[in-house]
Structure 1
Amino acid sequence: MRGRQYSCCFTGHRPGKLPWGYAEEDPRCQLLKQRIADAVESAYQEGYQHFLCGMAMGCDLYFCEAVLELRSRCPDVTVEAAIPCPTQADAWPAVQRERYCRLVESCDYETLVSQRYSASCMQRRDRYMVDHAALLIAAFDGSPGGTRYTVEYAMRCGLEIVDLSIPGA
């Protein structure tokens, strides 16, 4: 894995907080995916080569897919799946669970942050990513929750933050 100064992490909302929900064909979702891909490309151009992803449903998976696409063109890129607990995707819809498994398997590294689910394992995963990165890309609408927690923690830690607006939010 690369040093913190070459590492970028991501936070963003799950489908329940996105105006389009699970409808990824929605033009607003397509626009956000393009913004994420552009931010990943810009981070790479600035020297970031290692990308950490929390692998949550929604924006995290969009981010992982964008980084894997970049890696297909730039073999010096590495992707780390920061997994909060072994059961993260167990209750997800089958299609999302299959997507998650396929993406985790495609990552270069897999870090299991907690050995079992707990009320704090998601925040622990978020802190792990921020603690191992110098840049945070955030798809954030300002609402309370895990994304806000991660953005605020990154601010306290002095990370540079790229704030992507969520279309239609």
Structure 2
Amino acid sequence: MFEKILTFTRKRHVAGLKCAFTGHRPQNLPFRFDETDGRCLRLKAELRKLIVQMIEQKNVTHFISGMALGIDTYTAEIVLDLKSQFPFITLECAIPCETQAAKWSERYRNRYFAIVERCDKETLLQTHYTPDCMKKRNRYMVEHADFVLAVWDGSPGGTGMTVNYAHSLNKVVWTLNPNTFSINFG
């Protein structure tokens, strides 16, 4: 059974293309939860460059984050930081269920809510958790995007399923490998 999607918009986005983010959770990244690790810092710098490239060269003005720990959080924070340089860009938080961050540590919950507070649009896909709510969130993001920026090492899992779904809908997928930092613009 599908629940009604609830949306709260703070700011309308400028007509342009849309990009959804997908990627690994911290435990599946080479540096795990250590954001001071040089590999994490490099990954964030590469993501920032790719997002700026999308804005400047591809007319992407709206970004969608699924708000999970890891890549979703990093990219949301990068977009919010870039608003000072590109005030016309918008961030949408696609939230799978109201309790998404309920079991996270206080530090990560505070980070989550700080992003949601500053985003331009909140989309709550369903009120209660179900085993497929993350998949529904991922499908929503892909269906509402022109581009997908994925941080993916090719391993099976939610990121891989999201990338495959994007390809099945003929979306443009840019993939950044978190181990090698190679980029596939496909």
TM over 0.5: yes
Identical-pair percentage: 43
Which position in structure 2 is the counterpart of 1:11? 22
What TM-score, normalized by structure 2, do the two folds share?
Answer: 0.87
Which position in structure 2 is the counterpart of 1:52? 64
Deviation at 1:4, TM superposition (A): 9.0
Alignment of 1:1-169 (within 5 A): 1-2=12-13, 6-45=17-56, 46-167=58-179
What TM-score, normalized by structure 1, do the two folds share?
Answer: 0.95
For the structure 1 residues 4 and 16, does the alpha-carbon distance in structure 2 shift closer, same or farther, using more than 3 Å as the test? farther
Secondary structure, aligned partner of 1:49: strand
Deviation at 1:3, TM superposition (A): 8.7
State the 4+ residue runs in structure 1 displaced beyond 2 angstroms: 1-5
For the structure 1 residues 127 and 4, does the alpha-carbon distance in structure 2 shift closer, same or farther, using more than 3 Å as the test? farther
Secondary structure, aligned partner of 2:83: helix
Which residues of structure 1 form unaligned runs of 5+? none
Deviation at 1:103, TM superposition (A): 0.5
| Structure 1 residues 133-169: Cα deviation after superposition (integer angstroms, max 9, x where no partner) | 1000000011111111110000001111111110369
Structure of higher CA gyration radius: 2
Deviation at 1:16, TM superposition (A): 1.1
Alpha-carbon RMSD: 1.6
Greater per-residue helix proportion: 1
Residue-pair matches, total? 169
Which residues of structure 2 form unaligned runs of 5+? 1-11, 182-186
